[in-house]
Amino acid sequence: MKAYVVDQAGHREGMHITEMERPEPKSGDVLVRIQAVGLNPVDYKSADWGHVAWSYPHILGVDGAGVVEKVGSDVKGFKAGDRVYGLFDLTRHGTFAEYAIGKAHTLAMMPGKLSFEEAAAIPCAGWTAYQAFHRRFHLKPGQKVLIHAGSGGVGSYAIQLARRQSLQVLTTCSHENVPYVRDLGADFVIDYRTEDIFERVMNYTDGKGVHAILDTIGGPLVDDNFKLLTFGGTYLGLVDVPDTSTAPMFEKALNVGMLFLGGAFTMGSLEDQNDLAVMGAEMNRLIEDKKISSTLTEVLPFEKIPEGLDRLATHRVRGKLVARVSEHLP
């Protein structure tokens, strides 16, 4: 089978297509003929860092949508021909290939009316946002949440989910993406390039701050998020967490945490892994009921995956990039 591989950690620029042996499903596994893959920051970051469980050449990719080719022993709920999508195990060969192995208990049936490309745009970004708003945040209607980089992969789902909970949504993005995030449901938009985020948030909240922050970008300004939270506020980060030693201990009573779905495979329990498929099924219902939508914005050919990852690394991609792996089955 054809696959995109890296030959060693730290050499993403050397990604290339080669022939790899098609995997065979073992107990609890599902072999999926991949039709489309979502591109995510974790793909280029893991290529740069490597993983102790990898052997090389290694196939990248954590998001995938396709058709079940074969199931391993003890697999229930899936059969050959089923259309599935999901988050694949970061420690194993990934989805940038014609075939990939997924764990049956972490895959979900595709929403019926979605294309493979639309479905592949959901798992890593969509389920991360879903975990934030349906597992980690405990917010009430009318409360305020700040979503950094609202036009990005996670942010574009987070805005939709926050609106579904009747929250007031503040978000940051560049000027050219303001119409996009407003269409998703953002109430208050800050141009991070030209405006003072602290000043704008405090003006909007009458100096009280927001009840929650979803920070998808991290970086040197991460500690400043403390200043934007109201008493008892919650911060969730995808990249960094603030230095809590700098926060006034008795003035904020902050809750700080991180989101990383891949941890369910490496450090999490079976219950954590099972919850991936549960979130997939729950999001399916929202999509099928047209409560939220896939944020697919561009489909690339398989050969352009490295180019897509390079674009992601600039943090200037709107919505989700997806690559088409093979021609669709009947």
Q: At the fourth CATH level, which superfamily is domain 2-122+263-324?
A: Medium-chain alcohol dehydrogenases, catalytic domain (3.90.180.10)
Q: What pLDDT, in 10s, does the model give residues 2-61?
A: 999 999 988 888 999 999 999 999 999 999 999 999 999 999 998 888 888 899 999 999
Average pLDDT over the chain, rounded to whole? 92
- C-alpha torsion 299→12→29→132, nearest 10: -70
Same CATH topology for 2-122+263-324 and 125-258: the answer is no
Residue spans of the domains in the chain: they are 2-122+263-324, 125-258
Q: What pLDDT was estimated at residue 247? A: 66
Between residues 237 and 252, the one the model is more confident about: 237
Confidence of residue 330 (pLDDT cuts 50, 70, 90): very low
H-helix or E-strand containing 154? helix 153-164
CB under 8 A, 24+ apart: contacts of 230-239 = 230/205, 233/209, 234/136, 234/137, 234/138, 236/132, 236/136, 236/137, 236/212, 238/128, 238/154, 239/215
Q: From 3.40.50.300, 3.40.50.150, 3.40.50.720, 1.10.3720.10, which CATH number describes the 125-258 domain?
A: 3.40.50.720
Indicate the DSSP class of residue 319: S
Q: What pLDDT, in 10s, does the model give residues 308-323?
A: 999 999 988 999 999 9
pTM value is 0.94
Q: What pLDDT was estimated at residue 328? A: 47
